[in-house]
Amino acid sequence: VGDDEASVLGSFGIDDIRRAADRIAPHIVRTPVQTSIEIDRIANTRVFAKAEALQTTGSFKFRGALNKVLGFEPGALTRGIVGFSAGNHAAAIAAAGAIVGCPVVVVIPQGAPAAKIANCRAWGAEVIPFDPARQDREQIAAAVVSQRGMTLVPPFDDYDIMAGAGTVGLDIADDLHGRGVIPDVVVVNCSGGGLASGVLTVMEHYYPSIQKYIVEPAGHDKMARSLAAGMVLSNPPGRTTLMDGINGPVVGRHPLEVLRRLNVTPLQVNDDQALRAVAAAHEHFRLVVEPAGAASLAAVLFGQTDFAGRNIALVNSGGNVDSVVYRRALQLADSAHG
Amino acid sequence: VGDDEASVLGSFGIDDIRRAADRIAPHIVRTPVQTSIEIDRIANTRVFAKAEALQTTGSFKFRGALNKVLGFEPGALTRGIVGFSAGNHAAAIAAAGAIVGCPVVVVIPQGAPAAKIANCRAWGAEVIPFDPARQDREQIAAAVVSQRGMTLVPPFDDYDIMAGAGTVGLDIADDLHGRGVIPDVVVVNCSGGGLASGVLTVMEHYYPSIQKYIVEPAGHDKMARSLAAGMVLSNPPGRTTLMDGINGPVVGRHPLEVLRRLNVTPLQVNDDQALRAVAAAHEHFRLVVEPAGAASLAAVLFGQTDFAGRNIALVNSGGNVDSVVYRRALQLADSAHG
């Protein structure tokens, strides 16, 4: 291990995540870890599903954004904060900005779910839409930074963001400890890698022999390819999926480093599997989950990997979903029942 | 106060509910109390909504059934337990029976939501359907008691059941205390009165000046009429509502006594208001709530009473809803948005 790599590896770990947990605790919903005999029957295993769709703004993203914003020097907040995202990170920084009392600008792709855009506006943020096929969201955000003096809150490629997301894992470990359960497997959906790197760091710390999986949309497996190549790769532009929340263009450099070290196994799910998982979460967890947020549940319930007889921890990570997509998920499940 | 009344009033109170909480705690989901800036904007007030649809079996009913069953002498459980209900109490005793390891029979009206019947069967219960227009559910349950030697678990007219349901109120008070919030108003949906009498007893204890409301389906206001008449009254048979969970035929004698003493104000909501509340809980709480379970939210968001500027505690009490009804709620909300 060279000096460079050691310094990177040494700079993110369980202590960062614990500090984040202490910092954000007063503002965070302690979301339950859910179990269901019906889900366990479908999966032929025991599932422990963190209901993070119940978090403030409807996704885990609030944890990372809040950890970042609470760590800023007061001077960095005077002119406000700006972020770009498919929607959930945007709402998260809108809410984090509202808590510290600073202006917020969010850069969101046209065509993002209306629920996500409404979520940002409800928290008082200014929304700047862009065309993802023709415009670069980082450039738009950079222009806001230079023109208005705002501070960028990155969506995932940042240790504070990763540490905030990782507090989901601390909650899970604490809950499972209370039940006397040792998880054999952890499955986390993955886009830029903030949630996966944070949660899997915690799981590795508490359960050194746990099997660690990440889940991406089929055909949008930028992290799987990045892990294989050992370098940051992108998804090809222009492809769509109902899992919009984990269809960002590129993986994060820091999350990639952490996930390589953790020896994770990548999985993929398609839109149909994600919709069926949305319906299963509806019926058996009474939880509203968006397709991207249900990707890990989809992999466990409907994927190729056989998890029979294992204790599985997963995260239902977000619940901001357009009504038309949700109704389609329920209809799909109804026709499968009938 | 005569001796009779004093003995009745003395036999149910905060200590019963605290004992129930201790007894059931190891098996209960600590459901969150949810807040939402969007909900607060619609209601022009601050709403604290207990997400009891996330409880085991998908409703608060599990608390009362479990408290009852854990209090039985072991001998009473040998032959098993039986109950009758519109569905949520049935699933609750199915789960409580599974926890103590005894056979369970549930008597459920034909036409109850498929989700509720499936819920009972998933927990291993035997389901006996009946025709509510022509058969008496209490007689069917009584026949099971006499023929099979099973023990009846009543749905609401019982101090142990009321105490178990009342633990929802303890959770709310504990959560609000942690936030430094004093509620001005509490609103609880009501059918037989188990949940309302339990929760409002707790609220009265901790917040003596709180305003206490119960909510019934419009045209099915058996508790409002019973309170006015000072005696147990029924709903006229044959009327239907989407709020099937709070459309039982009759109020409980014990809950009625408690609610009379607590000086509650009855409210009513119609099916349209309940559906709009289901959609609001979906969008802003990411919680699946059935129409009956959303009755208190419906009264606060869409009812006649002006709650502006108050801190309101309410209970989203159950989430077992047929997919067709749920999709209708989402469509209704979409057309209102559009």
Nearest alpha carbon to residue B294 among B321, B275, B311, B313: B275
pLDDT tier at A6, thresholds 50, 70, 90: very low
Candidates B59, B171, B285, B286, partner chain A, best to mutate (most A CBs within 10 A):
B286
Q: Is the dihedral of CA A213, A214, A219, A225 positive or negative?
A: negative
pLDDT band at B10 (very low <50, low <70, confident <90, very high): low
Report the alpha-carbon distance of residue A166 to residue A168 in Å, rounded: 5
pLDDT computed for residue B212 by the predictor: 98
- What is the β-pairing status of strands A311-316 and B33-34? unpaired
> Does the structure show a pLDDT above 90 at A310?
yes
Asked if B37 lies within 8 A of A334 by C-beta distance, the reply is no
Neighbours of B26 (CB within 10 A): 11
Name which of A119, A283, A337 to mutate to probe chain B: the one with the most chain B Cβ atoms within 10 A of its Cβ.
Answer: A283
pLDDT higher than 80, residue A86: no
Q: Is A38 exposed, middle or buried (0-12, 13-18, 19+ CB in 10 A)?
A: middle
* CB-facing half-sphere around the CA of B275: CA atoms within 13 A: 20
Amino acid letter, A288: V
Query: Chain B neighbours among A 25-64 (CB < 8 Å)?
Result: 29-32, 34, 37-38, 41, 51, 53-54, 58
Of residues A301 and B1, more confidence is placed in A301
**Residue A208, burial from CB neighbour count under 10 angstroms (0-12, 13-18, 19+):** exposed
Tell me the pLDDT tens digit for each residue of A230-265. Answer: 999 999 877 889 998 888 889 999 999 999 999 999
Q: Is A62 exposed, middle or buried (0-12, 13-18, 19+ CB in 10 A)?
A: buried
Collect all residues of chain B within an 8 Å Cβ-Cβ radius of residue A31.
32
pLDDT of residue B68: 97
The pLDDT assigned to B228 comes to: 97
Per CB-CB distance under 8 Å, the chain A contacts of B286 are 53-54, 58, 287-289, 319-320
pLDDT digits (tens, 9 = 90+) for A184-194: 999 999 999 99
* Mean per-residue pLDDT, A218-239: 93
Q: Is A43 helix (H, G, I), strand (E, B) or coil?
A: helix
Give me the torsion for CA of B114, B117, B120, B124, rounded to 10°: -100
d(C-alpha A233, C-alpha A231), whole Å? 6
In chain B, % of residues over pLDDT 70: 97
Q: Which amino acid is at A205?
A: H
Q: What is the pLDDT of residue B8?
A: 46
Q: Residues A53, A60: contact at Cβ < 8 Å?
A: no
Which of the two residues, B114 and A263, has the higher pLDDT score?
A263
Q: Which amino acid is at B271?
A: D
Tens of pLDDT, residues B201-225 = 999 999 999 999 999 999 999 999 9
Q: Greater confidence, B335 or B10?
A: B335
- Out of A37, A320, A327, the one facing B330 most closely (by C-beta) is A327
% residues pLDDT > 70 (chain A): 97
Higher pLDDT, A3 or A102: A102
Cα separation, B49 vs B286, whole angstroms: 12
Secondary structure (DSSP) of A143-211:
HHHHHH-PEE--SSSSHHHHHHHHHHHHHHHHHHHHHT---SEEEEE-SSSHHHHHHHHHHHHH-TT-E
Q: How far apart are CA A151 and CA B251, in angstroms?
A: 59
Angle at B172 between CA B171 and CA B174, to 5 degrees: 65
- Residues in chain B with CB shorter than 8 Å from the CB of A338 are none
Q: Quick: pLDDT tens for B37-66.
A: 999 999 999 999 999 999 999 999 999 999
For chain B positions 78-137, those within 8 Å of chain A (CB to CB) are 115, 118, 122-123
A179 touches chain B (CB under 8 A): no
B291 contact A CB<8A: no
> Is the CB of A58 less than 8 angstroms away from the CB of B286?
yes
Nearest to B316 by CA among B265, B283, B268, B277: B277
Interface of A with B in 256-285 (CB under 8 A): 282-283, 285
Nearest to A32 among B54, B118, B320 (CB): B54
Which 3-state string (H, E, C) describes chain B? CCHHHHHHHHCCCHHHHHHHHHHHHHHCCCCCEECCHHHHHHHCCEEEEEEHHHCHHHECHHHHHHHHHHHCCHHHHCCCEEEECCCHHHHHHHHHHHHHCCCEEEEEECCCCHHHHHHHHHCCCEEEEECCCCCCHHHHHHHHHHHHCCEECCCCCCHHHHHHHHHHHHHHHHHHHHHCCCCCEEEEECCCCHHHHHHHHHHHHHCCCCEEEEEEECCCCHHHHHHHHCCCCECCCCCCCCCHHHCCCECCHHHHHHHHHHCCEEEEECHHHHHHHHHHHHHHHCECCCCHHHHHHHHHHHCCCCCCCCEEEEEECECCCCHHHHHHHHHHHHHHHC
Distance in angstroms (rounded) separating the CA atoms of residues A279 and B115: 12
The Cα A338–Cα A331 span in angstroms is: 10
Q: What is the pLDDT of residue B2?
A: 43
| Cβ-defined contact of B289 to A287 (cutoff 8 Å) | no
Which residues of chain A have a CB within 8 Å of the CB of B38?
A: 118-119, 122
The edge-to-edge listing of strands for the beta sheet with B151-152 is B126-130, B104-109, B81-84, B151-152
Amino acid in position A101: G
Return the pLDDT at B338: 53
**Is B322 within 8 Å of B87 (Cβ atoms)?**
no
Shortest CA gap B287–chain A (Å): 5
Distance CA B270, CA B299 (A): 9
* ipTM for the assembly: 0.94
Residue A220 structure tokens: 């949008």
Contact A311, A334 (CB under 8 A): no
Contact: B34, A34; criterion CB under 8 Å: no
Q: What is the pLDDT of residues A194-216, one digit of tens each?
A: 999 999 999 999 999 999 999 99
> pLDDT tens across A129-180, in order?
999 889 988 899 999 999 999 999 999 999 999 999 999 999 999 999 999 9
**Is the Cβ of A69 closer than 8 Å to some Cβ of chain B?**
no
Residue type at B89?
Answer: H
Q: Are the beta carbons of B105 and B80 closer than 8 angstroms? A: yes
pLDDT category of residue B111 using cuts at 50, 70 and 90: confident
Closest chain B residue to the Cα of A318, Cα to Cα: B286
Is residue A8 very low, low, confident or very high in pLDDT (cuts 50, 70, 90)?
Answer: very low
Per-residue pLDDT of B63-103, as tens digits, reads 999 999 999 988 889 999 999 887 899 999 999 999 999 99
Instruction: Specify the 3-state DSSP secondary structure of A258.
Output: helix
Task: Give CA–CA dist B297/B188, Å, rounded.
Answer: 9
> Which of the residue ranges A112-116, A172-176, B16-20 would you say has the lowest mean pLDDT?
A112-116
Could you tell me where the beta strands, DSSP code E, fall in chain A? 33-34, 46-51, 81-84, 104-109, 126-130, 151-152, 185-189, 211-217, 265-269, 311-316
* Separation between Cα atoms, residue A328 and residue A288, nearest integer Å: 13
Is B1 a residue whose pLDDT tops 70?
A: no
Position A176 scores a pLDDT of: 98
When the pLDDT of each residue in chain A is averaged and rounded to a whole number, the result is 93
Q: From the CA of A72, how many Å to the nearest CA of chain B? A: 25
Residue of B nearest to A122 (CA): B38
Query: What integer is the mean pLDDT of A20-49?
Result: 96
Q: Does residue A230 sit in helix, strand or coil?
A: coil
Burial of residue B50, with CB atoms counted within 10 A of its CB: 0-12 exposed, 13-18 middle, 19 or more buried: buried
Least confident stretch, A108-117, A160-169, B153-162, B295-304: A108-117
What SS3 class is residue A306?
coil
Instruction: Note the pLDDT tens digit of each residue in B189-201.
Output: 999 999 999 999 9
> Which chain A residue has the Cα nearest residue B285?
A54
Whether B285 and A54 lie within 8 Å, measured CB to CB = yes
- From A282, which residue of chain B is nearest by alpha-carbon distance? B288
Q: Quick check: A281 and A294 in contact, CB under 8 A? A: yes
Over residues B227-241, the pLDDT tens digits come to 999 999 999 877 889
CA distance B263 to chain A (A): 33
CA distance B48 to chain A (A): 13
